[in-house]
């Protein structure tokens, strides 16, 4: 649902740039292979937001929010695995602290 909120913003941008909406839409459909990663990113954004709402349903926000906030640490780890990006000592400390915090929240939960 959150992804659909971006549609009016995109339409307003096209108006500001004085582009014809129909022509821009036709060009986008014609080049859909070029936009496949952007479309997948939008789809995963919608799915991720749905899981965030589910987490708020099953757990209090004081627990679910810090856990979902650890996604930055997970992203850095995935970048290390897939892109072979180097991680500095400070980032490793941040990753460890993020996971210690999540485990601490899970253990100390009333």
Range of the domain at 36: 1-58
Spatial contact of 14 and 21, defined as CB atoms under 8 Å apart? yes
pLDDT tens-digit series, residues 76-106: 999 999 999 999 999 999 999 999 988 888 7
Q: What is the mean pLDDT of residues 12-19?
A: 66
Instruction: Give the number of domains in the chain.
Output: 2
Q: Which tens digit of pLDDT belongs to each residue from 30-68?
A: 777 777 888 888 888 889 888 888 888 888 887 888 888
Answer yes or no: do 48 and 81 share one domain. no
Of 21, 39, 58, the residue at which a domain comes to its end is 58
Residues 101 and 77 in one domain: yes
CA 84 vs CA 40, 78, 95, 98: distances in Å: 22, 9, 16, 21
pLDDT score, position 16: 67
The structure tokens listed for 4 are 């659909």
Question: Quick one: pLDDT band at residue 28, thresholds 50, 70, 90?
Answer: confident
What does DSSP assign to residue 55? H
**Residue of higher predicted confidence among 28 and 99:** 99
pLDDT of res. 60: 83
Q: How far apart are CA 73 and CA 4, in angstroms?
A: 27
């Amino acid at each position: 649902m959150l992804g659909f909120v971006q549609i009016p913003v995109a339409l307003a941008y096209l108006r500001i740039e004085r582009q014809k909406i129909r022509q821009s839409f036709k060009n986008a459909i014609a080049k859909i292979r070029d936009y496949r990663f952007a479309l997948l990113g939008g789809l995963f954004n919608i799915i991720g937001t749905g899981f965030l709402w589910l987490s708020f349903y099953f757990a209090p926000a004081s627990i679910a929010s810090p856990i979902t906030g650890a996604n930055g640490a997970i992203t850095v780890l995935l970048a290390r695995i897939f892109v072979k990006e180097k991680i500095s000592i400070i980032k490793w400390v941040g990753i460890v602290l993020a996971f210690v915090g999540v485990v601490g929240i899970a253990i100390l939960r009333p």
